[in-house]
Amino acid sequence: MDNLRLVLVFALALVLLLIYQAWIDDHPLEQPATSPTAQTTEPQAPPSTGTASVPPPTPSRETSQAFSESPTVAEPIEVQTDLLRIEISPRGGIITSVWLTDYPLSADDPTQKFRLMDPDSARLFVAQSGIDLNIDGPSLSTRDVVFHASASRFALADRRSSLTVELTSTVTKDVELVKRFTFERGSYVIAISQELRNSTGNVINARDFRELRRAEYTDPNAPRFVYTYTGAVYYSPGKKYTKVSFDDMKKEQLRLDVADGWIAMIQHYFLAAWIPPRGTQETFYSAVDGSQYSIGMASPVVSIAAGTSHSFSSRLYVGPKLQDVLSTLAPGLDLTADYGRLTVIAKPIHWLLAKIHGVVGNWGWSIIVLTILIKLAFFKLSETSYKSMAHLRQVAPRLQALKDRYGDDKERLNQAMMELYKTEKINPLGGCLPILVQIPFFIALYWVLLEAVELRQAPFILWIRDLSAPDPYFVLPLIMGVSMFIQQRLNPAPPDPMQAKLMMSLPFVFTVFFAFFPSGLVLYWTVNNALSIAQQWYITRAIEQAAGKRNR
């Protein structure tokens, strides 16, 4: 019975923690709320100009429909770097398509690259930037202006370290907008500047905005039977890393003034994030238009004198969740590799896994080495647990005899069992508590192996060509099931026949369950089981030999 309780407590705690983590991801404890002090700042124009303030940016329905209903003004402008292939729409200068050339869509076809952004209405994911302004009259927006470039295709030359693509548009007769996209070799960061040239005789009030917009859809390439968050997030020094799910956007619009923060749309392994200049206060906002969801930011309003110009600048990251890279771009950006509440444990585990990979050069062997190191770290705790199980195994016949003697008299049976435990100096919880201590580390490792983009399509050996995908031939889950069965045989058998049957079914249940898990996770569990079997067999054998010598 104690053995059954041990396994059931472990399994139940594991499942509850996973469910709780997924629930927390979808229902943050602190929802972003509008406060009196978190309103959009709208400075009034100088009285002499008679200009009106610039209203808060809101995605226009006309712009949203342009992706699904309106024909393209012209062919998209194509940009090719060593890491990215991008299409920029002349309408609004919107980044509508992004392919990551270092990341194939599938391991079976490395020629087809993963597409992160797409203008198709069903899979919409775009990055837009522009300027809202007024010139002594109604407010204007550059959302739908048409840009022109010197060419329709640009490519980063072999010996060049950077590439700048310049787009120009005439907003009005005397106002010109120049948008520049600067790409660096070996980088997923795009530096974007918007220069507004004022050739009017009046002061222009203007602010720039940057948005990420996507439809709510399920990626067909996402892993099955595992949960990963897809939606908007932002970071602020006060609230830190905060999720804004699509359901949150439906319930309440985000309006928050933030300095030194950023916004992003994330999905499994990849993200797009707008990073404003340091030290500037931005207004974060969200909007919903039918099936399209936006999170954006807008700069403070600036006044541009007649005959002068002003440049707004920001950076856009579009690429994989490479934590060592993201941590250098902005505070907290590496948190988009979302480990949930166990980040404090998961980040060191990921760091150690990456260091091991730097030595062994294979992510599968790195997982094995990491498993061995974790097992060594918990060696003494496991030893305590296995010793307790070994002692329980020794007294199992006497426990069965007590049950046969007292039958259905539960009170006397429990008293007799407690006396036996006291006499033999056995702690019935001694095998349970050490394992419970290890559960947070297992959950943290689960999220590391699930979120680490480095494991995406990473091969191991033989038939395992992708550690982030299930074993195609179910070999690892079967080995894991056999190892679980062997480990179970080393434990004391439950005295109750029904409990014994339930215990016998657990290896089969877990085998089916793990058949749909990423093979990297199954590899960890299998190796951990094998090490546990070796340790438990050695401890059990030593205790039984010692008991045999005492009985001679």
> Three-class SS string for 261-275?
CEEEEECCCEEEEEE
* Predicted pLDDT of residue 499: 66
Cα end-to-end distance, the chain, whole Å: 30
Q: What does the pLDDT read at residue 89?
A: 95
The whole-number average pLDDT for the span 391-419 is: 72
d(CA 92, CA 154) in angstroms, rounded, equals: 18
User: Do 137 and 248 share a domain, yes or no?
Assistant: yes
Residues 6 or more apart in contact with residue 492 via CB below 8 angstroms: 2, 3, 389, 392, 393, 396
List the alpha helices (DSSP H) in 317-362.
323-329, 343-360
Q: Identify the pLDDT of residue 432.
A: 62
As given in the structure block, the two tokens for residue 252 are 């309440």
Per DSSP (E only), the strands in 91-174 are 94-106, 109-117, 125-134, 139-141, 148-149, 153-155, 162-172
Cα separation, 4 vs 432, whole angstroms = 10
Q: Are 324 and 218 in contact (CB under 8 A)?
A: no
Give the model's pLDDT for residue 375.
84
pLDDT of residue 42: 35
Predicted pLDDT of residue 509: 84
In a domain, 28, yes or no: no
Percent of the residues in the chain that have a pLDDT greater than 70, as a whole number: 75
Alpha helices by DSSP H, listed for 378-496, are: 379-406, 410-424, 433-451, 475-490
39 alpha-carbon distance from chain centroid: 30
Whether residue 33 lies inside any domain: the answer is no
Which two structure tokens, joined as six digits, stand for 214?
A: 């996507």
Q: What is the mean pLDDT of residues 374-391?
A: 73
Confidence of residue 500 (pLDDT cuts 50, 70, 90): low
What are 435's two structure tokens?
A: 């394992």
Range of the domain at 314: 43-338
Position 288 pLDDT exceeds 70: yes
Distance in angstroms (rounded) separating the CA atoms of residues 285 and 56: 9
Of residues 81 and 387, the one with the higher pLDDT is 81
pLDDT band at 398 (very low <50, low <70, confident <90, very high): confident
- Could you tell me if 317 and 415 lie in one domain? no
Confidence of residue 341 (pLDDT cuts 50, 70, 90): confident
Query: In this structure, is residue 31 part of a structural domain?
Result: no
Do 215 and 190 meet the contact criterion of CB atoms below 8 Å apart? no
User: What average pLDDT does the segment 347-357 reach?
Assistant: 93
- pLDDT of res. 433: 59
Question: pLDDT at residue 507 above 90?
Answer: no
* Inside any domain, residue 317: yes
What are the residues whose beta carbons fall under 8 Å from the beta carbon of 438, sequence distance 6 or more?
A: 378, 381
Say what the pLDDT of residue 440 is.
Answer: 85
Which amino acid belongs to residue 69? E
> Exposure of 194 by Cβ count < 10 A (0-12 exposed, 13-18 middle, 19+ buried)?
buried
| Chain centre to alpha carbon of residue 470 | 19
> What's the CA gap between 268 and 265, in Å, rounded?
11
Amino acid identity at 59: P
* 233-249 pLDDT, tens digit each: 999 998 899 999 999 99
Assigned domain for 64 exists: yes
Residue 261 tokens read as 């923060």
Measured distance CA(78)–CA(165) in Å, rounded: 10
Give Cα 312 distance to the centre of its chain: 30
Residues 261 and 362 placed together within one structural domain of the fold: no
- Same domain? 297 vs 407: no
Q: How many residues does the chain have?
A: 552
Count Cβ neighbours within 10 Å for each residue of 284-304 and write b for 16 or more, e otherwise.
Answer: bbbbeeeebbbbbbbbbbbbb
365 and 318 both lie in a single domain: no
Q: Is 192 left (phi over 0), alpha (psi -120 to 50) or beta?
A: beta
Q: Are 84 and 183 in contact (CB under 8 A)?
A: yes
CATH of the domain at 190: 2.70.98.90
What's the rounded mean pLDDT across residues 163-184?
94
Q: Are residues 87 and 235 in the same domain?
A: yes
Boundary (domain end) residue, out of 280, 306, 338: 338
Q: Which residue has the higher pLDDT, 423 or 452?
A: 452
Are 280 and 360 members of one domain? Answer: no
Q: How confident is the model at residue 32 (pLDDT cuts 50, 70, 90)?
A: very low
Please identify, among 307, 338, 369, the residue that sits at the C-terminal boundary of a domain. 338
The span from the CA of 387 to the CA of 425, in Å, is 12
Selected residue with higher pLDDT from 540 and 160: 160
What does the pLDDT read at residue 26?
A: 43
Whether 538 shows a pLDDT value over 50: the answer reads: yes
- 10 and 133 both lie in a single domain: no
Could you tell me the CA-to-CA distances from 461 to 360, 363, 366, 520 in Å, in that order?
A: 13, 10, 12, 12
Average pLDDT over residues 449-464: 89
Let me know if residue 35 belongs to a domain.
Answer: no
Torsion angle in degrees (nearest 10) through CA of 115, 118, 122, 128:
140
Residues 323 and 363 in one domain: no
**Average pLDDT for 271-296:** 94
As a whole number, mean pLDDT of residues 94-123 equals: 92
- What six digits make up the tokens of 438? 């290890």
Task: List all residues 6 or more positions away from 533 whose beta carbon is below 8 Å from its beta carbon.
Answer: 483, 486, 487, 490
pLDDT number for residue 376: 86
112 token code pair: 């087809």
Q: What is the mean pLDDT of the chain?
A: 80
Q: Residue 431: its pLDDT value, please?
A: 55
- Separation in Å, CA 298 to CA 134, 255, 384: 15, 11, 58
Q: Is residue 25 part of a domain?
A: no
For residue 6, the model assigns a pLDDT of 42
Burial per residue of 61-79, b for 16 or more beta-carbon CB atoms within 10 angstroms, e otherwise: eebbebbeeeeeeeebbbb
Domain contains 247: yes
Whether residue 209 has pLDDT greater than 90: yes
Whether residue 252 sits in one domain with residue 141: yes
373 in the same domain as 321: no
Q: How far is CA 552 from the centre of its chain?
A: 60
Count: domains in the chain: 2
Q: Are residues 183 and 244 in the same domain?
A: yes
Whole-angstrom Cα distance, residue 321 to residue 337?
6
Q: Which residue has the higher pLDDT, 396 or 1?
A: 396
Task: Compute the distance between CA of residue 266 and CA of residue 339 in angstroms, rounded to an integer.
Answer: 13
